[in-house]
Amino acid sequence: MKATKMFRAAEKPVLEDEDAGATPLCSGDAKADKKVGKALHKEIATLQEMLYAERNRKVLVVLQGVDCSGKDGTVHRLFSKINPMGLRPVRFDVPTSADLARDFLWRVHLQVPRTGEIAVFNRSHYEDVLHPVVYGTLDAGAMAHRYAQIRDFERMLAESGTVLLKVFLHISKDEQRRRLQDRIDDPEKHWKFDPSDLKHREQWDAFHAAYETAIMETDAPHAPWYIVPADSKPHRDIAVATLLAETLRGMHLAFPPGDPKLAKLKVK
Amino acid sequence: MKATKMFRAAEKPVLEDEDAGATPLCSGDAKADKKVGKALHKEIATLQEMLYAERNRKVLVVLQGVDCSGKDGTVHRLFSKINPMGLRPVRFDVPTSADLARDFLWRVHLQVPRTGEIAVFNRSHYEDVLHPVVYGTLDAGAMAHRYAQIRDFERMLAESGTVLLKVFLHISKDEQRRRLQDRIDDPEKHWKFDPSDLKHREQWDAFHAAYETAIMETDAPHAPWYIVPADSKPHRDIAVATLLAETLRGMHLAFPPGDPKLAKLKVK
């Protein structure tokens, strides 16, 4: 079964029912899996070069997930083989005052991929339909506006030649505890530890509920959501690489035909 | 001898006298060299992580060179191990009308590295002191202003915690011919071929002279120029990685000390 089918979010996703520890794309043989990963990264690199050569469409990968779900690690692995000029990672941190002085899509629009590019958003406009819900800072009417605004924005991107791929990295509450504890137990990793992660962890169920609503409200054929089991890092990496490879294959990319005028040109 | 000494541009560099085919950092054993390269990439990745953890300084690598000198390939190799969020490649293409409506440093300033980041400029503000000289579109007075403006700009960056590293990838005229001919002979590479490369090639000596002047005018202890022999791609890659590694080592980076308050924290 294709990963784009296997991980596609249900119409009304229930994260509690999704096994974060599943590893359907791993064979159980770590060496063999590594080989599969390498082949995928090579294929993605070739397809991205064709995307660049075509100079017409663009790809946007949105990575979301709770704290410690592995968004950074996923981006790092995707870069293994690809030309860095063709894959642009963008991290959306806490909005600046300049961001807050505009609508929430402003800073996101500034970073959409250009022709030939694959942009990977490490967090995104989806943060703006999570925190306001969990902490009750916006009411239902305002949230309804935001979901609709996201739908409109993503449809506009798709209509303008952007292929979208939205991934929720799904880890269990236990796995998050292990990863947070790791950062605390190793003094060299203290700089990575953010106390607000503990505050968010207290709202685990509320964040999951907000994600379920966001996914349900914004899933579309041209902007599909995938829920990837991510307790296992090797599985997460293979799953995201497979989703990206399948998406690129679906674009039927090819190098432009040669220019007959160049055939006999000799450089002096 | 350190690479930062070996490749440091002379006060009055004469590119004609520099052997583009030299490979002083290669051992002659391709396998051993590959191992050295891998170790360098790993070290750069660790040092960049420290730079990020420190959240204080930033690094700017400027890559310049004639067409086909390997700027893209160099960036690609530098990415082998590093966290992509920590190394940001920026390509400066032909200025847009929005760029041209401002001073030539405007679009460059927008892209300078942020705290913890290594930015790699694939072309840069130095294009603006090459073409106007070669094609005579600006007079000597205007050029004197530009050199001074670059000096001021780079000093300001250095004073604000940016460590600069400027690299001229030096290839021979013969090597450029081979690389251009390769793109012409392989129809699958025609999309990479830019007819203006042939036009620039006709001005080979004029471009070299403009580079010599630019390097001479803007070399400084806080913004040093290096001339890297780049006919050999393996040598070019090792040389640039070595220059970057030495530069990062010179910054005496370290992970911040652990936070004693976290010592006994248990995540629930």
Q: pLDDT per residue over B200-251, tens digit each?
A: 999 999 999 999 999 999 999 999 999 999 999 999 999 999 999 999 999 9
What's the topology of domain B3-253? Rossmann fold (3.40.50)
Is any Cβ of chain A less than 8 angstroms from the Cβ of B181?
yes
Between A188 and B32, the more confident residue is: B32
Verify whether the Cβ–Cβ distance B79 to A79 is below 8 Å.
Answer: yes
Q: How far apart are alpha carbons B174 and B196 in whole angstroms?
A: 18
User: Which of B89, B257, B262 is closest, CB to CB, to A184?
Assistant: B262
A-chain residues within 8 Å CB-CB of B72?
83, 85
Report residue A91 as tokens. 């991290």
Q: Which of A86-90, A216-220, A244-248 has the lowest mean pLDDT?
A: A86-90
Give the A window 60-79 contacts with B, CB below 8 Å.
72, 75-76, 78-79
The residue whose two tokens read 């191992």 is B35
Q: How confident is the model at residue A263 (pLDDT cuts 50, 70, 90)?
A: confident
Stated length of chain A? 268
pLDDT at B166: 98
**Is the Cα dihedral A261, A263, A264, A265 positive or negative?**
positive
pLDDT at A70: 96
Query: Mean pLDDT in runs of 10 for chain B (268 residues)?
Result: 97 96 96 96 96 95 97 90 90 94 97 96 97 97 97 97 98 97 93 93 98 98 98 98 98 94 89
Quick one: A16 exposed, middle or buried, by C-beta within 10 A (0-12, 13-18, 19+)? exposed
Verify whether the Cβ–Cβ distance B187 to A265 is below 8 Å.
Answer: no
Residue by residue, what is the 3-state secondary structure of B147-168? HHHHHHHHHHHHHCCEEEEEEE
Cα-based distances in Å from A118 to A63, A113, A114, A215, B181: 13, 6, 8, 22, 29
pLDDT at B85: 85
Q: What is the ipTM of this complex?
A: 0.87
Please compute the mean of the pLDDT values over residues A64-89 and round it to a whole number.
Answer: 92
Whether the per-residue pLDDT at A249 is higher than 90: the answer is yes
Is any Cβ of chain A less than 8 angstroms from the Cβ of B30?
no
Quick one: A96 exposed, middle or buried, by C-beta within 10 A (0-12, 13-18, 19+)? exposed
pLDDT at B81: 86
B-chain residues within 8 Å CB-CB of A261?
none
Q: How far apart are alpha carbons A58 and A117 in whole angstroms?
A: 5
Whether the per-residue pLDDT at A179 is higher than 90: the answer is yes
Q: How far apart are alpha carbons B147 and B104 in whole angstroms?
A: 12
Is any Cβ of chain A less than 8 angstroms from the Cβ of B201?
yes
Is any Cβ of chain A less than 8 angstroms from the Cβ of B13?
no
pLDDT at A264: 85
Nearest CA in chain A to B180: A267
Fill in the amino acid letter for A248.
L
Q: How confident is the model at residue A81 (pLDDT cuts 50, 70, 90)?
A: confident
Is any Cβ of chain B less than 8 angstroms from the Cβ of A201?
yes
For residues A217, A219, A223, A228, the Cα torsion angle rounded to the nearest 10 degrees is 120
Report residue B40 as tokens. 């360098």
Q: How far apart are alpha carbons B8 and B215 in whole angstroms?
A: 11
Q: How confident is the model at residue A79 (pLDDT cuts 50, 70, 90)?
A: confident
Q: Does domain A3-251 have CATH number 3.30.70.2610?
A: no
Is any Cβ of chain B less than 8 angstroms from the Cβ of A98?
no
Q: By C-alpha distance, which of A75, A44, A1, A42 is closest to A244?
A: A44
Best of B55, B265, B266 to substitute, by most chain A Cβ atoms within 10 angstroms, is B265
Chain A to chain B, count of Cβ pairs less than 8 Å apart?
83
Q: What does pLDDT average to over chain A?
A: 96
Domain range summary for chain B, segments of one domain joined by +? 3-253
User: Which of A75, A122, A262 is closest, CB to CB, to B190?
Assistant: A262
For residues B235, B240, B245, B246, the Cα torsion angle rounded to the nearest 10 degrees is 90
Please compute the mean of the pLDDT values over residues A215-241 and round it to a whole number.
Answer: 98
Q: How far apart are alpha carbons B122 and B91 in whole angstroms?
A: 5
CA-based nearest distance B1→chain A, Å: 31
